[in-house]
Each structure stands twice: as C-alpha cells, then as structure tokens.
Structure 1
Amino acid sequence: MVRLSYTYTIVLVALSVSAPLAALAGDPDILTDYIVPADANAGAITGAFFTYTGFRAARNMTTPVPNFTAIKATMAEFPALNGQSVSYVLLMFPAGGSVNPTHTHPRAAELLLVVDGALSVGFVDTAGKLYTQDLAAGDMFVFPKGTVHWQFNQGDKPATALAALGSAAPGLVSLPSTLFGASNIDDNVLAKSFKTDVATIQKLKAGLAPPKK
C-alpha cells in the first residue's frame, strides 16, 4: 500500500528549499519571483497556480503498482516550476526485482529519498568508477548531475521513493530505450560499439520494442 506519511511530506518541503539542492541547481536565474505562462493572465494567478496534485492518486492507492511507475512533477506537468530550479518525481517499485533502468538527467543532480521499503541504487562517475548502496526507508542518496544511475527493488515488498531534481526540466536519457529502442541507431554501429554482432543487437531491440496493438 503506497502511503506518503505526513512526516515525509514535511521532509520533502524542507528538501525543496534546502541549500544543498539549490547549490546543485542548473537552471538560469530569473529576474522575477516566478514566470507567468505566455497564455496566462498575470492578474488572474492564484494559489492554485503554485499547487500540484498529481501525487494524490498514488497516495490513495490500496494495491501496489504492477510495474515500475514514475509520476513526474516537472515544469511540463507543473508550469509554476519554470525558473525555480527544482522538480520532483515519485517512483513506485513493485516487489520482486523491479528496476528504474539505467538513465541520466543531463541538466540536474538527483536527491533520492526512500519513503517506503528498500532500494539498491548505484551510479557510475566519469572516471568509470561504480558506487552502489543499499537504502532503507528514510535514507537519502545523491546522484551527481549527468551520471548514469539506477534504482532496483530486489526485495519481497514494494518500495516508494521521491526524487528531488535540481532543475525544473532535468531531462531524461534512458540508456536501454535510447540505444536499442525507438532511436533507430544503425545495427552495425551498435554492434561495433558493443563489440558484438548484429543478431544480438536485433534481439535487444526486439525486447525493447513497444507491444503491438
């Protein structure tokens, strides 16, 4: 059962205004308190503009999600974040080996807070060094900006985490789908890059192809 407790909600508010996250922010500074969307009337802005309710559905779930699920609160979903150098992603992992696949955020560091359950996490730095850690509920872990990283629930209970990102538009580059999914990179280029054969590359691509309707 996915529940974001009141205690953790307070922690998240603190994270969003914390000095470490601000120091990791990569967005340009703005010269106003906030940015009004081009199609909005500045005089009509109310508190609702600064409110995001997209996580409510997850809070009220009575059964775990069947697959790894990420609910984003970035500038695209929450326009008030434009210029504020912060965003959140709610990550939900069912039990038994669910993973947030290897990926990068080119414009932001990520500060992960495990809310429920446990996760194994890791990243690789630009020198090729691997860092891993097992996290329990209440633990935090930072993924430096632009590094390849992942989260893995190998336990027998669901896990929930919140990721604070130092950009309103952190970007997401998923390595599996970028390399072998819909990008249509030439099979020969991939085969030579990974020192394998075209048949292996085609098998990887087939495994990542979207299901046929």
Structure 2
Amino acid sequence: MASNILSHSLFLVVITMATYHISHASDPDITSDFIIPSNMNAVDGNFFTFTGMRTPLQVELPTIFNVTKASLAQFPALNGQSVSYALLQYPSGGINPPHTHPRAAELLLVIDGTLEVGLIDTTNKLYTQTLQTGDMFVFPKGLVHYQYNADAQNPATAISAFGSANAGTVSIPSTIFATSIDDGILATAFKTDIATIQKLKAGLAPKA
C-alpha cells in the first residue's frame, strides 16, 4: 500500500514538473482575452489588424535580403498571444546569415522561388534541404540556422511563423564581429590573427 502511494506520488511529481516545463516553454499565459496597451482606453477592429506587409508585397523586390516583421514591437495586439510572423525577401544570391531565435521555433513557408536552408543541432550536426515553392521547414527554438537563395536568376520569398510574440533574433556574424569583443580574444578563439578579425569586422560595419 505504502509502495503504491509512493509510486503515485512520484508519478504526480513527474507530471507536475513536466507540465510546469511545458507551460513555461513559451510566452506566459494571460488572464484576459487580449492586452490593451496602457496608452489606450479602448480598441476596435483596427487594433487587431496589421497592414505592414502590404507595401513589401506590392513593390519591386529589394536588391538585398529584407525582413518585414509582424511581432510585438510592430503589432501590439500580439502581446500575450504567443505568435508572430515575418516576411522574408531574398534577391538572387541573397542570404539570411546564420542566426538563432532564443524564444521560439520558426516555421518557414516558401511562397515564391526556391531556398537552400540549414540548421545545426547541439551536437554540431548540420541538416540541409532545398525547398521549393509551397514547401515548409521548421527551425527548432534556439538552434543556429540560415536560408540562402542559390538561384542566380530569380528572387525568392518566404513567410515565417513564430511561437512567440517576441521570438528575438541573434545574428551570429553581427553578434561576434560587430560588437566590442576584443580583437585579441576573437583572434585566439578563431585561431587566426588580429588583421583577419579586423577585416571581418570592417565587412560587417554599418554603411555610412
């Protein structure tokens, strides 16, 4: 009898811990239907509408990789809703450099063209795929990944969905080489010389 009680107690503890982990693996739950910003007294249908994708989809594609986000910063109605989007536009040869999203997985849908995509897991194994129009690919939360338009003639367009209103983006090249990490530290870490590090930093410096 005591053994059964102990077994059931352990089972409940495990279930509770698992539920706690799952419930805290995404945006916090809210206790209302939606969250009205503090600078608003009331909202109407416009509050739940985002029109920021209209222009990028109607004008000529950019000559460099471009991201148009519909996340918490651009679309306040997403607060507490655990979802956001991004429109990704790639010219021929365009690349979305290696990066991570620390707070959400990403589900990418190619809506025009083709893309080479890849992700790296925590064992440093690389997974790659060539996506056609209509294909989807999931990038697990926190893992390094990239997208590249290898087509020399045609642009590509994709839409990404995130399981967070504020997924966050950590660009690997910019985080490493466009911040103030000491050149000597980077040279040692990458087993190269300071001149090479400075050249990499210069290539990532904002254009004047």
TM-score over 0.5 for the pair: yes
Matches within 5 A, 1:71-150: 71-95=68-92, 97-150=93-146
What pairs up with 1:143-182 in 2 under 5 angstroms?
A: 143-155=139-151, 156-181=153-178
Give the corresponding residue for 2:62: 65
- Structure 1 unmatched ranges of 5 or more: 1-22
Matching residue of 1:56: 54
- Mapped partners of 1:127, 1:195: distance in 2: 21
Question: Identity rate of aligned residues, in percent?
Answer: 61
Structure 1 position 142, deviation (Å) = 0.0
The corresponding residue for 1:18 is: none
1:143-185: CA deviation from partner (whole Å, max 9, x where unpaired) = 000000000001021100000011000001001111111x111
Which residue of structure 1 aligns with residue 4 of structure 2?
A: none
How many equivalent pairs are there? 186
Please name the residue that 2:43 is paired with. 45
* Runs of 4+ off more than 6 Å: none
Give the CA deviation at 1:38. Answer: 1.2
Q: Secondary structure at the match of 1:157?
A: coil
What secondary structure sits across from 1:75 in the alignment? coil
Matches of 2:35 and 2:135, distance apart in 1: 33
Q: Which amino acid aligns with 1:81?
A: L
Deviation for aligned residue 1:35:
0.8
Q: What SS class does the counterpart of residue 127 from structure 2 fall into? A: strand
SS at match of 2:96: strand
Whichever residue aligns with residue 49 of structure 2, its letter is T
Q: Flag the structure with larger Rg.
A: 2
Whole-Å Cα distance in 2 between the matches of residues 159 and 174 of structure 1?
Answer: 21
Structure 2: tracts of 5 or more residues without a match:
1-22
TM-score, normalized by length of structure 2? 0.87
TM-score (norm 1): 0.85
- Residue 64 (structure 1) shift: 2.1
Taking the aligned partners of 2:193 and 2:33, their CA distance within structure 1 comes to: 54
Distance in 2 of aligned mates of 1:135 and 1:124: 17
* Corresponding residue of 1:35: 35
Distance 1:32 1:190 in 2: 48
Deviations 1:94-135 (A, max 9, x none): 11x110011000000000000000000000001111000000
